[in-house]
Amino acid sequence: MTSLADLPIRDDLRGQTPYGAPQQQVRYALNVNENTHPIPEDVARHIVEAIARAVLTVNRYPDREFTVLREHLAAYLGHGLQPASVWAANGSNEIIQQLLQAFGGPGRRVLGFPPTYSMHSIIAAGTGTEWVAAERDADYRISPETAVAAIEREDPDLVFLCSPNNPTGTPLPLETIEAVYGASRGIVMVDEAYAEFAPAGQPSALTLLAGRERLVVSRTMSKAFAFAGARVGYLAADPAVVDALRLVRLPYHLSALTQAAAVAALEHAPTMLAMVDEIAAQRDRMVAELGARGYTVWPSHANFVLFGGLADAHAVFEALLAREVLIRDTGIPGHLRVTAGTAEETTAFLAALAEVDPR
């Protein structure tokens, strides 16, 4: 039987393994930061009706410019954004891929600050873009001084930032984003996949877009909108950036069904986002209880919590899995990450953790 090593694969892909968070059937799946709340029934019905109408047109290609969806995304984001400044794709991962296809590639470099979203470096590798890692400050933060020093040292073609950061939940000050933009010569992408879970009043990088034609703010409907299975990511940027992405996108890359479902969900944005407060409450509950038990708990502006102080994190992970509680080992020594879900899920996780690691 032929193996991967026998094929004429690119040299830079040899020995690599595909991304893959564990997919196991368990009672409590709290490992990939999904929104575990079901979509409200009336919203689900509206989405199904929209998809049913779209099915009647699938003999034709979809709107290549997904005009209606961009109008709805611009209205949702606000900040005076127009549809021409908005772009969408099949999840924010495809947004990242298109950015690297257009502005990265062989001979170019993208700078990131691990630990951060693992797909940033994986997609960089897939597009032949060199991934350059810079260190963070204490407590997983990034000061303007630290970021600028890394940019001056590495001179990257792109800089990827994550706010709040995954897997740590750490917020990123606007001052750092401004400093990064001022020090860099290329695209600066701020990944705001978890922005809706930040405390009220936390400013978004969207406020910095005006006058910064190389700044890109990436978002997703997977988290706050409970739309992970629909695969809808999007960005806001100068219209010229959108024009660049048109050069690398596949024709008709967003299906008519995807467009219809996303538009219908956005028409119910207040209802869809009502669950965000409940999720944030469960996040804060876990932060408080884990801290009271003596764990190191990192402040989070996302829908997950990173906690440490574990003598054997992998053993705890496996023991929780045996109790049908699946969380995430992100590779940070002595740490695990858990998604904030429903009150029932939080209770189940905390009870299982008390059994396998009593404190």
**pLDDT, tens digit, 9 for 90 and up, residues 282-341:** 999 999 999 999 999 999 999 999 999 999 999 999 999 999 999 999 999 999 999 999
The string of DSSP letters for 40-88 reads PHHHHHHHHHHHHHHHTTTTS---TT-HHHHHHHHHHH-TT--GGGEEE
The two structure tokens encoding residue 58: 């699938």
Mapping DSSP to helix (H, G, I), strand (E, B) and coil, where does residue 246 land?
Answer: helix
The two structure tokens encoding residue 66: 């997904």
The string of DSSP letters for 269-337 reads HHHHHHHHHHHHHHHHHHHHHHHHTT-EE---SSSEEEEE--S-HHHHHHHHHHTTEE-B--S-TT-EE
Q: What does the pLDDT look like over 77-104, one tens digit per residue? A: 999 999 999 999 999 999 999 999 999 9
Q: By C-alpha distance, which of 223, 226, 180, 227 is closest to 198?
A: 223
The pTM of the whole model exceeds 0.85: yes
Residues 224 and 272 sit within 8 Å (Cβ to Cβ):
yes
Report CA-CA distances (Å) from 256 to 52, 65, 81.
11, 11, 24
Q: What are phi and psi of 342, to 5 degrees?
A: -85, 170
pLDDT recorded at residue 358: 87
The two structure tokens encoding residue 167: 């897997």
Residues 242 and 187 sit within 8 Å (Cβ to Cβ):
no
Report CA-CA distances (Å) from 12 to 8, 84, 101, 232.
11, 36, 16, 29
Mean predicted confidence (pLDDT) in 98-117? 98
Residues 168 and 115 sit within 8 Å (Cβ to Cβ):
yes
- Structural domains of the chain sorted by starting position, each given as residue range(s) with its CATH number in brackets: 4-39+270-356 (3.90.1150.10), 41-268 (3.40.640.10)
Residues 203 and 212 sit within 8 Å (Cβ to Cβ):
no
Residues 111 and 138 sit within 8 Å (Cβ to Cβ):
no
Within a 10 A sphere around the Cβ of 287, how many other Cβ atoms?
20
Could you tell me what percentage of the chain is helix, strand and coil, using 3-state DSSP and rounding each to the nearest 5? 45, 15, 45
Mean pLDDT value across the chain: 96
> Taking each helix axis from N to C terminus, what angle separates 343-356 and 269-292, rounded to the nearest 10 degrees?
20
Q: What does the pLDDT look like over 208-253, one tens digit per residue? A: 999 999 999 999 999 999 999 999 999 999 999 999 999 999 999 9
**Model confidence at 175: pLDDT above 90:** yes
- Per-residue DSSP letter, 90: S
Report the alpha-carbon distance of residue 83 to residue 240 in Å, rounded.
13
Report CA-CA distances (Å) from 121 to 97, 104, 124, 181, 235.
11, 12, 5, 20, 19
Report CA-CA distances (Å) from 283 to 248, 289, 298, 306, 338.
38, 10, 11, 10, 9
Report the alpha-carbon distance of residue 341 to residue 38 in Å, rounded.
11
Residues 25 and 265 sit within 8 Å (Cβ to Cβ):
no
Q: Are strands 109-112 and 130-133 parallel, antiparallel or unpaired?
A: parallel
Mean predicted confidence (pLDDT) in 100-121? 97
